[in-house]
Structure 1
């Protein structure tokens, strides 16, 4: 009996080591942003018929086959970043949602499009500067998710071609620029991309970038849920609070696949969590005057210079049909605290009618990835 116990103990230890290896399958989760096989199976059920319809709601365009690869994303003058690849990003996000929803033609078109850009080394010549790198980050999360969706049907050669293209681009955005962009929503976006890609390819060091950023953000959050570097942004204070929440949602969802519940993670003082940050956004939406406590600093406010006129454009569909509140499809089911219930009510009352919610900050068609019937 003692020998049997020792044998079982050794097997348990060995199993633990295997599950901790980069790229190892996890019995209780998945790799990447969400469980692709499980979601594909769920979307075939009658219960999720309306959600599957959201996966297929945006038609694929044959013109996307002729999108010319872009060698580099460039710095821009003034506020904003290079949007020359927006058509490509939109095509990737629409096609990956359609592929997840079972559209075989879209899956083939997505693979062909990405392989063409990979073979042309698209984005490889992007100069190392915070502005073009920000634009690059916005391209990479949809590409990582599309790769994850395509992976089961790619040949080994195709998978290698795409991995060899995406991987060095992802690792480049880990650059530091000795400024606020190393600490604010730019960095949170970068770490969300690094984490998702690290999970897909089995790089635990990249994966931990996201976990570390999530915890650091909680530590930096004020007691009222505002973020010092975002709340000062004048008319766009709530805009950037939401943007940080979107990237934190991506991090939390990738963590779920590894058995980590970051939605329930508390700051070192035990007083702040994702729900605290979420409450600050929702409070600001309910009573915009609350945001002026810090937004009066008017630091790089964006197009609107009057901090008393908060920019709430993120509540509506923007260019190419994208929606900055797409993260709510996942975050609304993140926990049991009041903030999550408030967010769920907001989705019902103001966002569900705008489905599908698609955005590069969450990697694509969030309704398709996480949405439930409403």
Structure 2
């Protein structure tokens, strides 16, 4: 059920902690000051502090390019200095186009199957142009301490953005325009104000929702503007709004909260912690700023550094019956980070041979074959949440959306082949009442367990929309990349 109105219903008092500068702020400002100095402007000392001299110099540059004055260091200013005065932290070829978009569109248009894949509906996705701007993200939509189905107002927006991004890439001009319209409308409305402070007990969930939306908007918008012209001032307004919100929601806890010591979301290696870094990485890549990307790369290393030798992630296996769910979610974020890094020639090095995404894929392959694999971990580390019954699987078909991105990065390596040929635990597809989220599309195992490749054939191609982008549409040359 889509419950949009709940988001804007209440605005809780926000503490001054929201004004806390994100980890990348000083480095980003310093790079801008150095850029302005190279252009001949007087910024005083390039020290990473945004003061009157820096503001005056930046506004002079903005005026020269037809942009209005800005009190703060805004997104369009960051984009402008990297374009006009590249420096050490400027990406050589800014953008979030993980493939050559024009070339890829031609490939898709020439392949009816891929064209159909790119245009396919995704989940409960709503067309971006039809979604009104939510002014506040608040915990009123998550009253029981976790996000329940009836409180999920944001998935329809996320899935709609992914769906429109694929359609845009396939040549649907209306989809491209819809993404731009949504971004400009939300920027004009100054949408997604934080409804809680960082020390609020529900901050993790509220900030996760906002960061997921900001990440997906940035990915989709970056694709749309490759094909849809945006008026410069409107584009600047979108950049300003995105960076303002990304700065506010850039949220990194060092460890468990004293008030919620058992909650895996509070650990630096959790999927939430990784999700909080994704919007800044995407925005930095889009405008050409390396400094905003670094926290995501650091967190990528932190996550892998927590991995056990068997490929399991402690913060995800502690999630009760949802351990498989969160392991796939984390893998999608790790892969998205690697894909963005690869696009810009940045090498990410795993902490050790056993701490890698292929090792994680091997673990989830074993978990799909035997769901009870992680039960000992889950029982030992279970925290609060809706999945304390370890016997009932939580499985959704979008998990398999990681495969095109994985194959793009690692090819058909040993872990890929084992995944493709691996079997599926019959309990994941059983016809028993589904207390959680079993795969109702599976066959009934009349002839024994099926392979994962056969399962993907059975449940369809929709799973290849993941990682906040239409992964199959971007990377696949066949409908089923496990063939």
TM-score by length of 1: 0.81
In the alignment, structure 1 residue 148 sits paired with structure 2 residue 232: no
In the alignment, structure 1 residue 327 sits paired with structure 2 residue 402: yes
Q: Distance in 1 between matches of 2:295 and 2:375?
A: 32
Structure 2 unmatched ranges of 5 or more: 1-84, 198-202, 257-264, 422-450
Distance 1:211 1:58, change over 3 A: same
CA displacement at 1:125 relative to structure 2:
4.1
Q: What residue number does 1:189 align with?
A: 275
Q: Is the 8 A contact 2:165 2:176 kept in 1?
A: yes
CA-to-aligned-CA distance 1:65-91 (integer Å, 9 cap, x gap): 443211111112222175323333333
Q: Is the 8 A contact 1:72 1:127 kept in 2?
A: no
CA displacement at 1:280 relative to structure 2:
1.0
Q: What residue number does 2:92 align with?
A: 24
Between 1:89-98 and 1:241-250, the stretch displaced more is 89-98
Q: Aligned-pair RMSD on alpha carbons?
A: 2.8
CA-to-aligned-CA distance 1:139-184 (integer Å, 9 cap, x gap): 1121011111122332312321221121121222222345342511
Q: Is the 8 A contact 2:90 2:290 kept in 1?
A: yes
In the alignment, structure 1 residue 306 sits paired with structure 2 residue 389: yes
Distance 1:272 1:67, change over 3 A: closer
Q: How does 1:137-216 map to 2 (within 5 A)?
A: 137-152=211-226, 153-177=229-253, 179=256, 180-183=265-268, 184-216=270-302
In the alignment, structure 1 residue 272 sits paired with structure 2 residue 355: yes
CA displacement at 1:250 relative to structure 2:
0.6
2:462 to 343, 356, 359: 356
Q: What residue number does 1:281 align with?
A: 364
> Between Structure 1 and Structure 2, whose CA radius of gyration is higher?
2
Q: What residue number does 2:153 align with?
A: 84
Q: Is the 8 A contact 2:125 2:155 kept in 1?
A: no
Structure 1 unmatched ranges of 5 or more: 1-16, 317-322
Q: Distance in 2 between matches of 1:85 and 1:223?
A: 36
Q: What residue number does 2:114 align with?
A: 51
1:106 to 175, 178, 194: 175
CA displacement at 1:33 relative to structure 2:
5.7
Q: Larger helix proportion, structure 1 or 2?
A: 1
Between 1:186-195 and 1:338-347, the stretch displaced more is 338-347
Q: What residue number does 1:14 align with?
A: none
1:254 to 336, 340, 347: 340
Q: What residue number does 1:124 align with?
A: 193
Q: Secondary structure of 1:327's match?
A: helix
Between 1:330-339 and 1:113-122, the stretch displaced more is 330-339
Larger relative contact order (CA 8 Å, sep ≥ 6): 1
In the alignment, structure 1 residue 235 sits paired with structure 2 residue 313: no
Q: Is the 8 A contact 2:464 2:472 kept in 1?
A: yes
Q: Secondary structure of 1:221's match?
A: coil
CA-to-aligned-CA distance 1:15-54 (integer Å, 9 cap, x gap): xx968541432xxxx63261233432332334xx311211
Distance 1:258 1:296, change over 3 A: same
Q: Is the 8 A contact 1:333 1:340 kept in 2?
A: no
2:472 to 333, 356, 367: 367
Q: Distance in 2 between matches of 1:349 and 1:270?
A: 30
Q: Is the 8 A contact 2:137 2:192 kept in 1?
A: yes
Distance 1:186 1:365, change over 3 A: same
